[in-house]
Amino acid sequence: MIESLRASHYADAAVQQLATVIENVALARDTFRVRLHCPEIARRIVPGQFVMLRLAGLNDPLLGRPLALYDTVLGENNEPIGIDVVYLVIGKMTGKLASFREGMKLDVWGPLGNGFEPRETPHLIMVAGGIGQTPFVALGAEALGHKSFGSPSRRGGYASRVTLCYGARQADYLAGVDDFRAAGIEVRVSTDDGSAGHCGLVTDLLRETLDSAAGNARVVCCGPEPMMEAVAELTRQRRIECEVSLESPMACGIGICFSCVARVRQPDGGWDYKRTCVEGPVFKADSIVW
């Protein structure tokens, strides 16, 4: 058997089921959080992984959409019973999803992807642009030791400090800021128009945060590709460890269709296409050919 096919996060280990909507609430402008009852997926999923969602019983749109884990939902016995995912209404699928109410069904399969590894670091800096903040509530909570994920449960408490640098077009697009702060995460925001926080680029905030970290940091990033490329270059210059979670469009989510490939550098100096849904979505920033 090819060694790569043994990865525990590959799609042959995923669960597919009809999940019941517990709630579907607005977080910000055109941004919603849907809560799904799916205990088996909730027990197994870890920060940085994603699920594929499809509108059950509908053929238009036909294909599912990848949505990152935002957080898990705990039941009365403190065991995971569901997951939260956050989405921006930008097309037909998410437009219809915004109308879903409690008790309705969604076809969901996951956990998918490799997720972020739990590694010791004095300061975990999470950089998000647009809707790219969605993988980071769970990661920050785990890093600070406030919550555990996976089965068997992963070790948490591997960062002394966690900071989110979060950029958006304007203040009303900032989603979930209170959730980050409730998890003990320091939040720094920037907006293009200056309506909240720093007026300018989120990389300005990252540069300032790295200055205060004095090199003892790990950076993770998710958002628009030009922003991630800029973060990758900034961390490369400073020789700071950086990982990116790619937001490549996906059709299947399980590695069959090859629609989500990214160019990834190889040990021999060349590059090859890698499937974001299977080999990713998390890659070392310096491995991506932007």
Rg (alpha carbons) of the chain, rounded to whole number: 18
236, two tokens? 């490369």
Q: Is the pLDDT of residue 18 over 80?
A: yes
User: Which of 20-24, 198-202, 213-217 shows the lowest per-residue confidence on average (mean pLDDT)?
Assistant: 213-217
Domain boundaries, the chain: 3-112, 121-287
Give tens-digit pLDDT for 30-58.
999 999 999 999 999 999 999 999 998 87
- CA distance linking residue 102 with residue 99, whole number of Å: 10
Contact 248, 239 (CB under 8 A): no
- Helix then strand then coil, in percent of the chain rounded to 5, is 20, 35, 40
Which residue would you say has higher pLDDT here, 282 or 269? 282
pLDDT band at 9 (very low <50, low <70, confident <90, very high): low
Give which of 7, 102, 113, 101 is closest to 66, Cα–Cα.
Answer: 113
- CATH of region 3-112: 2.40.30.10
Mean pLDDT computed over 241-256: 93
Mean pLDDT computed over 263-272: 93
Burial letters for 210-237: b for 16+ Cβ neighbours within 10 Å, e otherwise? beebeeebbbbbbbeeebbebbbebbee
Mean pLDDT computed over 204-227: 94
How many distinct helices (H) and strands (E) make up the chain?
A: 6, 15
Which residue would you say has higher pLDDT here, 269 or 273? 273
**E strand or H helix that includes residue 222:** strand 218-222
Q: Where are the beta strands (DSSP E) in 75-150?
A: 80-88, 105-112, 121-129
87, two tokens? 């989405």
Mean pLDDT computed over 137-164: 96
Q: What is the pTM of this model?
A: 0.94
User: For the chain, what is the mean pLDDT?
Assistant: 93
Give which of 6, 99, 83 is closest to 44, Cα–Cα.
Answer: 83
- The confidence score (pLDDT) of residue 57 equals 81
Residue 225, φ and ψ in degrees, nearest 5: -60, -45
- The confidence score (pLDDT) of residue 192 equals 96
Mean pLDDT computed over 147-160: 95
- The confidence score (pLDDT) of residue 162 equals 98
- CA distance linking residue 279 with residue 262, whole number of Å: 10
- The confidence score (pLDDT) of residue 5 equals 44
- The confidence score (pLDDT) of residue 3 equals 40
Give tens-digit pLDDT for 239-248.
999 999 999 9
Which residue would you say has higher pLDDT here, 63 or 113? 113
Domains 3-112 and 121-287 share a fold: no
- The confidence score (pLDDT) of residue 215 equals 76
| Cα–Cα–Cα angle for 147, 152, 155, rounded to 5 degrees | 45
Helix (H, G, I), strand (E, B) or coil at 166: strand
- The confidence score (pLDDT) of residue 213 equals 84
Give tens-digit pLDDT for 68-112.
999 999 999 999 999 999 999 999 999 999 999 999 999 999 999
The CATH architecture of the domain made up of 121-287 is 3-Layer(aba) Sandwich (3.40)
Give tens-digit pLDDT for 165-174.
999 999 999 9
Displacement of CA 171 from its chain's centroid (Å): 21
